[in-house]
Amino acid sequence: MARHLHDEKTIKREVPTRRVSPVPKRKKRRRRKKSHPVLLALLIFVLLVGLCLGGAYYVLNTKLNKIERYEDVPQPTVPPEEQSFELEETDLANPGEDTVKAEEIVWHKPQVTKKEPKVKNILLIGQDRRVGAAETRARSDTVIICSINEETNKITLTSLMRDMYVPIPGYYDNRFNSAFAYGGIELLDQTVEEDFGIRLDGNVEVDFEGFLDVMGLIAPLEIELKDYEVGYMNSGTTWGLHTGVNSLNAEQLLRYARMRYAGRADWERTERQRRVLTAAFNKVHGRSFAELTDLVDAALPCLRTDLSNMEILSYVYTVLSHKMTIGETYRLPVEGTYTAEKIWGMDVLVPDLEANSKYLHQYIYGA
């Protein structure tokens, strides 16, 4: 509202004098200010809330410090001259001539987009290091882009298949899962960003041993098994699983998530992994605060990340405050956007990078 200001002029007028009887002086008494009970209560409440918030932050910060940080762990890299083309069991079982020469492939990389403030992309990495193995890092067995979208209030999971044959910055073109083995999260992030045109905001890694520890706190999970999956799951065990919905423990969930030789190999395997993550999220989502605290306290030491404590708290707050749920889950490469080839003796999928980038942006950003 506009306020009008006027110049004020002081006008002096003569006031008629009159005699006034003197008034005896009294000693001034200091009046004690009384504390208003409501204000006092409010002040105490604010102080208590401040202490609680400070204490809560201290407790959460202490718990989050249990996560292993990449900066505290040596990150060895493989020199480009020592890179190799690793043949897997499926390659050895299907010998034959290469269907295309590596130098004949022409890549059309997409343009890397700017970060969207309302969308955070976290790379979830399942490392292929076995329990008790001596190596510090192996190839990435599982890579999933976890996208937290504040506008849609949805979490999107997109699997990147390990057998994609892609350009790896500074190295020969190779299987996608070799990027992590050659240069850790830095090279893996650079490969994802340059090949598929999106920006990443952080990484969270777990190995098989850590997976068992974490799932041991959440399991059992209700998972529906198909006929051909039951045979593979029960092979060499006394589990007695059946077709239909089963309550799977941590060991069974790990075998289910890593199953490659039943159904459509890695195509269905990546779908199983997303199914396990979705079931785990939905189960944890309904637990009490006390249960979540115990779960987090035990699970955090199993993880490795480059996210700061404040970033983790911010993402958790966003998911909880927006009451987010996991929406549709996806997989790259998309059907019809790749060719199956044999290169350097490896059975691989050669993706159309531009086409897959467009699909990925649609999945994550809705455009």
| Structure-token match 């890092």, residue found | 137
pLDDT for 3: 43
Contact 310/64 with Cβ under 8 angstroms? Answer: no
What average pLDDT values come out for the chain (367 residues) when binned by 10 residues?
43 44 51 54 52 53 82 84 85 86 94 88 78 53 90 92 95 94 93 96 83 82 93 93 95 87 76 88 75 74 88 85 88 95 94 97 87
Name the 3-class secondary structure at 14.
coil
pTM over 0.85: no
pLDDT for 335: 94
CA dist 121 and 142 (Å) reads: 16
Contact 248/221 with Cβ under 8 angstroms? Answer: yes
Instruction: Give me the residue spans of the domains in the chain.
Output: 56-94+105-365
Whether a cis peptide bond, with omega within 30° of 0, leads into 220 is yes
Could you give the count of Cα atoms lying within 13 Å of 204 in the half-sphere of its Cβ? 22
pLDDT for 87: 83
Q: What is the DSSP letter of 164?
A: B
Contact 328/360 with Cβ under 8 angstroms? Answer: no
- When computed from its CA atoms, the radius of gyration of the chain, rounded to whole angstroms, is 31
CA dist 226 and 241 (Å) reads: 11
The interaxial angle of helices 208-218 and 250-258, nearest 10 deg, is 130
What residue type is 212 in one-letter code?
L
Contacts of 150 (CB under 8 A, 6+ apart): 118, 119, 318, 322
- Do the strands 154-160 and 325-332 form a parallel or antiparallel pair, or are they unpaired? parallel
Contacts of 187 (CB under 8 A, 6+ apart): 77, 168, 169, 170, 179, 180
CA dist 325 and 269 (Å) reads: 22
What tokens does 356 get?
């897959």
Give the number of other Cβ atoms within 10 Å of residue 45's Cβ: 10
Q: Could you confirm whether domain 56-94+105-365 is CATH 3.40.600.10?
A: no
pLDDT for 146: 92
